[in-house]
Structure 1
Amino acid sequence: MAMSRGEKILQVIIVTTLCLLSIIAIIPVVSVLATSFSSRLPVDMNQVTLWPIGFTFDSWKYMIFRPDLWKSFGITLFTTIIGTILSLLITALMAYPLAKKEFMLGKFLIIAAVITLVLKPPLVPYFLTLREYGLYNNILVLIFPHVLTAFNLIIMRTFFKDFPQELEEAAKVEGCGYFRVFFQLVLPLSKPVLATLGLFYAVVIWNQFQHPVMFIQDPDLFPLQLKIRQFITSESVMPALMAEERPNYNEYTLRATAIIFAITPIIMVYPFIQKYFVKGAMLGAVKD
């Protein structure tokens, strides 16, 4: 169906607005990237804007060969992978029975889950509770608080409610129990929602900042985001050098390099996963 003149004008306005917002959002990233590849003197003189001046890899060479940075990267990568897998499993195990009409407590539990979207737990009792569980200075605190969120639970429950009942009934006729139906039939056919929610969980765990700040005080356990904050807020990130040594980088180029190092994995992956985020929004929009 051909669009009307008003619809075309509206589409142009929307596209133009989104393009402008995208440019505004990307300019700071480009500026930080240019700083990370610039020489010390132009950065000291505040000459770098959107293009490197005195192009050099010195800041990157220094940062890439820092063992503590790679250790933090490994911690973040480990918690993201394990946390995403565990979160998907727990969310699926809880969403599947909630999608069944014969589960009498289903409506009550889903209402309780929705309430958690509106009412957040008080910060101090939340901190004391997790500390009593032994999660203070423990990298598991980067995983366990994220294993189940109400929003993702509702999306997966909606998907399971639309799952063809005929397939499940046929499997039960063949002698399959509930767990066998779930793991051998339902989950293999639920790749769209698993991919969508897997991306949701992975992005949250990778970018988390509040939990590390609250619960991780041991520098050896710092995830990547906390390590980046250490670089940015510390008075000096420069290595100890002899008087005659004059490196071609300074604190600003090193901090810029650390920031780009932290966001590069998500930037590289996002173009390939964007369609799943859109699909996830559509899954959550299906009426109950």
Structure 2
Amino acid sequence: MSMSFSEKVIQKCIVAFLIILSVIALIPLLSVLSVSFSSRVPVELNQVTIWPKGFTLDSWKYVLDRPDLWRSFGVTAIATIVGTVLSLLITALLAYPLTKKEFTIGKVVMLAAVITMVFKAPLIPYFLTMKNIGLYDNPLVLVIPHILTAYNLIIMRTFFLEFPSELEEAAVVEGAGYFRLLFNIVLPLSKAVLATLGLFYAVTIWNQFQHPLMFIQNPDWYPLQIKIRQFITSDNELQIVGNMSQLNYSARTLRAVTIVFAIVPILMIYPYLQKYFTKGAMLGSVKG
């Protein structure tokens, strides 16, 4: 069905508006990226906008040579990978039964999930509970609290409700049970929702700040976000760097490098999931 002239005009206006918003959203990132590749003098003179001045890799070399930063990167990477896999597994194991009429307590479980979206646990009882179950100063605290969210559960359940029942019925005739249905038939055909929710979980775990700030005391278990905050707010080290005029980098360029270092991995993953992302988000929101 061809579009009318007015519809084409509206579509082009929407596309132009979205392009403008995208450019506006990219400007802060480009500015920080430019500062990270700029030399000391133009940065201190505020001459850097969205293009590097006095291009240099000295700031990157200084930051990437820090073993403590790479250790935190490893902690965050492992927590993100393990947490995302476990989260998708547990979400699927709970969402799939919720689509079956024979799961008699399904409505109660969904009600409980919705309640957790509306009412958040008080901070002090939450802290004491996590401490009592052994998650204080334990790297597992970077994974377990994020392993299931009600919002993602609802999206996956809704996606499963859209799954063709004929495929499951044919598998049941062949003698397949629920676990075989889920792992051999449903999940392999659910790449869209798995990619979408995987990205949601991965971004949440990668960017987490409050949990490690509250529960992690051992510097060896600091995730990347805490280490970057520590580095950015460490006035002593950055002041020493700032006072060494012979260096080709400054405190500002080092801060910019650490910020870019933290966000680039997620930005690199998104293009590989983009083809599934929109489909999964839309299919997971069609039917309640």
* Fold agreement, TM-score > 0.5: yes
Rounded to whole Å, the distance in 1 between the matches of 2:185 and 2:30 is 46
Which residue does the alignment assign to 2:139? 139
Q: Note the alpha carbon deviations across 1:137-158, whole angstroms, 9 max, x for none.
A: 2111111111111111111112
Q: Note the alpha carbon deviations across 1:210-262, whole angstroms, 9 max, x for none.
A: 21222223222111111111122221444968x98822111111111111111
Answer with 108-117 or 180-189: which moved more: 180-189
Answer with 126-135 or 96-105: which moved more: 126-135
Which residue does the alignment assign to 2:282? 282
- How many angstroms does 1:33 deviate by? 0.9
- How many angstroms does 1:186 deviate by? 2.7
Quick one: structure 1 residues 99 and 147, their matched pair in 2 at CA, closer, same or farther if it must change by over 3 Å? same
1:197 aligns with 2:178: no
1:70 aligns with 2:70: yes
SS of equivalent to 1:285:
coil
Whether the 8 Å CA contact 1:236–1:251 is kept in 2: the answer is no
Quick one: structure 1 residues 207 and 276, their matched pair in 2 at CA, closer, same or farther if it must change by over 3 Å? farther
Q: Note the alpha carbon deviations across 1:23-81, whole angstroms, 9 max, x for none.
A: 22111111111111111122222222222121111101111111011001101110010
Quick one: structure 1 residues 177 and 207, their matched pair in 2 at CA, closer, same or farther if it must change by over 3 Å? same
Which residue does the alignment assign to 2:225? 225
Rounded to whole Å, the distance in 2 between the matches of 1:197 and 1:22 is 23
Which residue does the alignment assign to 1:161? 161
Answer with 159-168 or 203-212: which moved more: 159-168
SS of equivalent to 2:8:
helix
Which residue does the alignment assign to 1:114? 114
Quick one: structure 1 residues 76 and 285, their matched pair in 2 at CA, closer, same or farther if it must change by over 3 Å? same
Which residue does the alignment assign to 2:149? 149
Amino acid at match of 2:141: V
- How many angstroms does 1:199 deviate by? 1.7
Amino acid at match of 1:31: S
TM-score of the pair, normalised by structure 1: 0.91
Which residue does the alignment assign to 2:252? 252
Amino acid at match of 1:251: A
Quick one: structure 1 residues 22 and 236, their matched pair in 2 at CA, closer, same or farther if it must change by over 3 Å? farther
Q: Note the alpha carbon deviations across 1:116-152, whole angstroms, 9 max, x for none.
A: 2222222222222112111122111111111111111
- How many residues get paired? 287
Question: Sequence identity of aligned pairs in percent?
Answer: 66
Segments of 5+ residues of structure 2 without an aligned counterpart are none
1:49 aligns with 2:49: yes
Segments of 5+ residues of structure 1 without an aligned counterpart are none
TM-score of the pair, normalised by structure 2: 0.91
CA root-mean-square deviation:
2.1
Quick one: structure 1 residues 74 and 237, their matched pair in 2 at CA, closer, same or farther if it must change by over 3 Å? same
Amino acid at match of 2:113: A
Whether the 8 Å CA contact 1:237–1:254 is kept in 2: the answer is no
SS of equivalent to 1:157:
helix
Quick one: structure 1 residues 190 and 12, their matched pair in 2 at CA, closer, same or farther if it must change by over 3 Å? closer
Rounded to whole Å, the distance in 2 between the matches of 1:266 and 1:191 is 19
- How many angstroms does 1:192 deviate by? 2.6
Whether the 8 Å CA contact 2:96–2:157 is kept in 1: the answer is yes
Which residue does the alignment assign to 1:170? 170
Amino acid at match of 2:172: K
Rounded to whole Å, the distance in 2 between the matches of 1:167 and 1:76 is 39
Rounded to whole Å, the distance in 2 between the matches of 1:2 and 1:166 is 34
Amino acid at match of 1:106: G
SS of equivalent to 2:235:
coil
Rounded to whole Å, the distance in 2 between the matches of 1:207 and 1:178 is 35
Whether the 8 Å CA contact 2:75–2:221 is kept in 1: the answer is yes
Amino acid at match of 1:118: V
Whether the 8 Å CA contact 1:87–1:147 is kept in 2: the answer is yes
Whether the 8 Å CA contact 2:75–2:223 is kept in 1: the answer is yes
Rounded to whole Å, the distance in 2 between the matches of 1:223 and 1:237 is 20
Which residue does the alignment assign to 1:211? 211
Whether the 8 Å CA contact 2:152–2:197 is kept in 1: the answer is yes
